[in-house]
Amino acid sequence: MKSKLLGIITFISLLLGEESFAQKQMAINPVIHADVPDLSMIRVGDTYYMSSTTMHMSPGLPIMSSKDLVNWKLESYCYDRLVENDAMNLNNGQNTYGRGSWASCIRYHNGEFMVSTFAATSGKMHIYTAKNIKGPWQEKTFKPAYHDHTIFFDDNGKVYMIYGVGKLKILELKSDLSGIADRVEEKVLIENASVPAGDKIMLGAEGSQLFKKDGKYYLFNICWPRGGMRTVIIHRADKITGPWEGKIGLQDLGVAQGGLIDTPDGRWLSYLFRDNGGVGRIPYLVPVEWKDGWPVLGENGKVPMTLNLPANKSLIPNLVNSDEFYRKKGEAALPLVWQWNHNPDNSLWSVSERKGFLRLKTGRIDTSFVSAKNTLTQRTIGSESTGSIVLDASKMKEGDIAGLGLLQKNYGFVGVKIESGSKSIIMVSTRAGKAVEIEKVSMAQNTVFLKAECNFKDRVDIAHFFYSLDGKLWTRIGEPQKMPYTLPHFMGYRFSLFNYATKNIGGFADFDYFRIKDEITEK
């Protein structure tokens, strides 16, 4: 009897093990648990390419590639500096947090990659072209900036752009995308694209993305019914000029805004994203079936949590990564995982002046963490992530503050402050829009280890800061840092290395490394 029972238990265990193994071989939503919003996607052969939004960051407009739609790696940025003005350069009290370049559109036409974006910061359309996805990218600009546009190369050789909010409009572009076609006026394409979602709309239809299949045009938009959730709206037409008929495409979990992509073996999916608190706006994939000439999104109208696609790998090292700041000859000064908070002053940072260190120098007086230039950032990632650094404060000057931050409007940081000739480890948190020094600990040595741990599980959105004098024994400092997503910055929280002066310029801080993990250890 015991032998028979043992056999049954073994058989059940094997079945559970096989199920667990099978689940591990499937992709899990969200496919990217990090801030990668406003996705635009294409397939060229067996490779997928995606552009996304990083707004005020520099370099900007990241381009990623994937072989399986699930695991992505950074390939390039379309621009190093979007524009030179006070807002983008953090000069004269101006900034462009939450603005910069917004939703882009990526296309591949006649052997060339084309990526377009619009920017309130410049008031222009920016068009980038390259033969190779790694660049170099060539830029064209024209005015004005067309909101949430989609560019479409039609079969008749004409190039169209659809854009707008609620009332969607259409224009014809020049074939080289250098501007609006001559003697062409904009036309209203759809008077009110939000109609399928009802008459009580908080956010009108925007985020246009246009596709064509079997001779029909399909236009994807997002809208937000009042009291409801972010909703996918789909319109279709036999001609690009209409008439258009629309319907709700998906209304589940607030997963919305994106479009369609097909696989080499003929399957279809929709790429979308979800507002997910402090970690940011995170991408999902939803299976698509075609019924009666319409794309039907999801499984019984729901977003599935598993997908018949290859399993998710870690976002490390392809979207975020540790950095020891050693550079071999010919290597880029900064890997693609890094972005500055705004245009940097390149005379005030270096990875070559001290081998194996990032040096951040002060060149002006600043009043806060968010007003400081040359803050170097990477995405936080979910569901948990940890960033840690070693800081050498020996050359910091009176009034200098340097360390490791979590950048957003309601920011927090742990760092070293020089005050009355002495060093202190401080934790600063934002309360009611004001930065408050929560705790201060005297420091007798020049080097300190600093750590930030982020918990995004179930949208807890709490971080804790730590310091160590030897890299082994860690002490929590300050208070739990709440990480709400705010529209003024319009971005998920970012690990940030910073140094700014409040009294004297000319000091510098040296960072020995930045290390990131997809877990928290101190708890």
pLDDT at 12 over 50: no
pLDDT at 392 over 70: yes
Rounded to the nearest 5 degrees, what angle is found at the Cα of 13, between the Cα atoms of 7 and 14? Answer: 90
Burial 5-17 (b: 16+ CB within 10 A, else e): eeeeeeeeeeeee
Query: Which of 205, 206, 207, 151 has the alpha carbon at shortest distance from 177?
Result: 151
Alpha helix positions (H), 365-517: none
CB-based contacts of 110, cutoff 8 Å, min separation 6: none
Q: Which residue has the higher pLDDT, 477 or 16?
A: 477
pLDDT, average across residues 318-346: 97
The span from the CA of 392 to the CA of 357, in Å, is 9
Burial 45-58 (b: 16+ CB within 10 A, else e): eeebbbbbbbbbbb
The sign of the dihedral angle between the CA atoms of 516, 518, 522, 523 is positive
Collapsed DSSP state (helix, strand, coil) of residue 78: strand
pLDDT at 13 over 50: no
Residue 240: what pLDDT?
A: 96
Classify residue 156 as left (phi > 0), alpha (psi -120 to 50) or beta.
alpha
Q: What is the pLDDT of residues 271-326, one digit of tens each?
A: 999 999 999 999 999 999 999 999 999 999 999 999 999 999 999 999 999 999 99
Amino acid at 394: S
Q: Which residue has the higher pLDDT, 9 or 374?
A: 374
Q: What is the pTM of this model?
A: 0.93
Domains and CATH numbers, the chain: 27-307 (2.115.10.20), 339-517 (2.60.120.200)
- Phi–psi pair at 111, nearest 5 degrees: 75, 15
